[in-house]
Amino acid sequence: MSEQPEPTSLLATAKTEGLKVRTRDGDALGSVHSLMIDKRSGQSTYAVISIGGFLGMNKSFYPLPFELIAYDAVEDDYVVTTDRRLLEGGPSWANNPPEFNQAYADRVASYYGVASANLSA
């Protein structure tokens, strides 16, 4: 019998195209792969940042609490407000995304030192 995924309040299918991301020092970092939106509030809770790769291969994906990125209206891109090394050492995946349940949200929040989102449905 297959185990059913734990229901959460996150809508994780909000795909984005062409939203560039840079470091707080102004260096190109990657792009926003998707936004994770709280179904109850409609607020973005995480941005999944895509870094690296060539022609769509060998990319890594990093879930970043939305409070750690800022939108730059002049450059029309997002700026990661934490150190690049911290981001690149954080929770990530390459091929198979993890089940983004409460335990994983707690792990991400703990790593970045922010409050964990309540994902209970």
In tens, the pLDDT along 27-59 reads: 999 999 888 888 788 888 899 999 987 766 678
Alpha-carbon gap, residue 12 to 35, rounded angstroms: 7
By CB neighbour count within 10 A (0-12 exposed, 13-18 middle, 19+ buried), where does 44 fall? middle
Q: How confident is the model at residue 19 (pLDDT cuts 50, 70, 90)?
A: confident
The structure's pTM equals 0.82
Over the stretch 85-119, which tens digit does the pLDDT of each residue have?
A: 999 999 999 888 888 888 999 999 999 999 988 87
Q: How confident is the model at residue 21 (pLDDT cuts 50, 70, 90)?
A: very high
**Residue 115 amino acid letter:** A
Question: Which pLDDT does position 3 carry in this prediction?
Answer: 59
